[in-house]
Structure 1
Amino acid sequence: MQVTVEGHGVLAPICGDRHPVELPVRQATVADVLEALAAELPDMVAHLPRTACARGDTLVPRDEPVDDGDHLALIPPVSGG
């Protein structure tokens, strides 16, 4: 199974705007995608606990199932003035 992730904000330089994540299972969740991503890109680990995930225009919880070919946007917390 393959899911594509798109990093925003501070995550963009780490994973880019189209990073494929291969999952060895047929049924996976958003949490599984993030775990696989962290294994591939260790610089992501510190950011993932506070990162929101969206599929399309909808924020999805980490226990949300994902399908082969899904696209997830990773949205870190935003701050500034």
Structure 2
Amino acid sequence: MENLSIEAKVLILVKETLEKEDCDIGWSENLFDYGLNSMKSIALIVKLEEEFDVVFEDEELLFENFTNIHLITDRLKEHLNL
């Protein structure tokens, strides 16, 4: 995944976590509609932290910050200073 954009990497990780590799998930679609729940949220956050070498602070770990790919990407860009 080295040469992919942040958005593309996030989309891949989301689809893997939700086991929805064959679905077209839009950037602003609610991931809870695709099966994101508390357990899968934790798994996704761990994958994001590992892939992008970031650590989300406890106060960031709210469902509303991870409800769609756009919000996740924005949060990562803040951590990566992009």
Taking structure 2 as the reference length, what is the TM-score of the superposition? 0.33
More strand by share: 1
More helix by share: 2
Taking structure 1 as the reference length, what is the TM-score of the superposition? 0.33
